[in-house]
Amino acid sequence: MNKHMLRDLDNQHPQQPGTTMLASLLRRGGVVVLAIVALCVLIGISLLTGSVPFTSHELWQCMQQHCPSAMQDTVFWQIRVPRVLLAMAAGAGLALCGALLQSCTRNPLSDPYLFGIIAGAGLGVTLVTVGGDWLAFDVQHFAVPLAGFIGAMLAIGLGLALSWRLGWQRLDVLVLSGVAVSFFLSAITSLLLYVADPFAANRVMFWLMGSLARADYQALQWITPMLLLTITLMWACRRQLDALLLRDDSARSLGVAVTQLRVGLLLLCAALTAVIVAFCGGIAFVGLMIPHLVRRVTGPKTAGMILGCSLGGAMFLLLVDTLARSILPDQEIPIGIITSAFGSLFFMLFMFRRHTASS
C-alpha cells in the first residue's frame, strides 16, 4: 500500500503505457535543454546590458580576460559578472524556498512572504541600517546578513510558537500564524522608517523594493553555500518531501517524522531567504509563481522540482534584472516592482484558467 501511495505522486495521473511514458520523458528532457539554452542566452544579454556599452566581440575578449580597456575589465568582472551570478543564485533560492514551503504545508499559496520570513529579515536589516547609531554598532558587511538571519529566525520562531499554542496539527493555523507575524513585523519596520533620518529611510525603502545593485563576490560567498546546502538536503530528503504531499497520517505510516521534518524545512527556508533578502532586499512572487509553473512541466515530485525551480528561478530573476536596468535610460527600476507586476498578471491568468476549468 505504501509503495502505491508514493507511486501516485509521480504525475497525478494514472500510469501510462511505455511509449507514452517515453514520449513524456523526451518532452521533459527537451524542456530542460530549452531552459538551459534560454538561460545561456539571458546570461549573454545581461552581460551586454548596462550603462557601459559592450559589443559581442568585446564581451568575448573580456571572458578570455583580455578586455580592450581597464574600465571595461573592472565593469565586467567587478560589476556585471557578480550581478548575473547573484541574480541566478537569488532567483533559484527563492523558487526553491517557495517549492519547499508549498510541499510542507500542502498550500499552493505558501512562499517566504506568507510565513513572515522576508518581513523578519527586512526588520533585522532595517534595524541595523537605520538604527546603527542608536546601537553604537557600525554597519559592516557582515552585520547586514547577520541581522537578516536573526530577523528571519525571529519570524519563524514567533510563527511556530503561535501555531503551537493554537493547534500545531492544523496546517491552516500554521499558515495564518505566519501571516499574522508578517504583518506585525512589517508594522515595526514601517515605524522604524517613519522615525528614522529621511536619507537613511530612503535608502532602506529602495532596498525593501529589491535591488541587485549591491552585488559583489562577498554576497555570493554568503548565498551560494546556503543554496547548495538547500539543494543537497532537498535531494537527500526527496522521498520524505514527496510523502508530505500526502496526508500527515499517510506520511507517518511511511516512517516520516512529520513534525521534525516540517520544522527543519521552515528553518532551512528561513536561513536561505535571510541571506538573499539581506543582499537583494524584498523580492516578491518568485517563490510563489515559479513553483506553480515548474509543477505543470515536471509534476509534483521533489526531484523534478529541484531542477525546474533552480533553472526557472534563475532565468526569471535574471530576466527581471535585465529589464530593470534597460527599461529607463540611465535609471534602474527596483526589481521588486517588476516581479510584483509579473506576479499580478500571473494570478489573474491563474484565476481565469481555474474559473474556465470549473465552468
Domain spanning 111-282: CATH superfamily: ABC transporter involved in vitamin B12 uptake, BtuC (1.10.3470.10)
The predicted-structure confidence for 30-70, as pLDDT tens digits, reads as follows: 888 899 999 999 999 999 988 887 888 888 999 888 888 88
Beta carbons of 208 and 281 less than 8 angstroms apart: yes
**pLDDT on residue 4:** 54
Residues of the chain falling short of pLDDT 70: 1-27, 131-142, 167-170, 355, 359
Q: How many angstroms separate the CA atoms of 84 and 212, rounded?
A: 9
**pLDDT on residue 12:** 47
C-alpha closest to that of 192 among 133, 138, 140, 117: 133
The predicted-structure confidence for 62-95, as pLDDT tens digits, reads as follows: 988 888 888 888 999 999 999 999 999 999 999 9
Sign of CA dihedral 217, 221, 226, 227: positive
**pLDDT on residue 169:** 58
Cell of 249: 497520517
**pLDDT on residue 43:** 95
**pLDDT on residue 168:** 57
Boundaries of every domain in the chain: 111-282
| pTM of the predicted structure, to 2 decimals | 0.86
Side chain identity, residue 287:
G
CA-angle at 103, arms to 117 and 240, nearest 5°: 115
Average pLDDT, the chain: 83
**pLDDT on residue 15:** 45
**pLDDT on residue 19:** 60
Q: How far apart are the first and last CA of the chain?
A: 35
The percent of the chain in helix, strand and coil, each rounded to the nearest 5, is 75, 0, 25
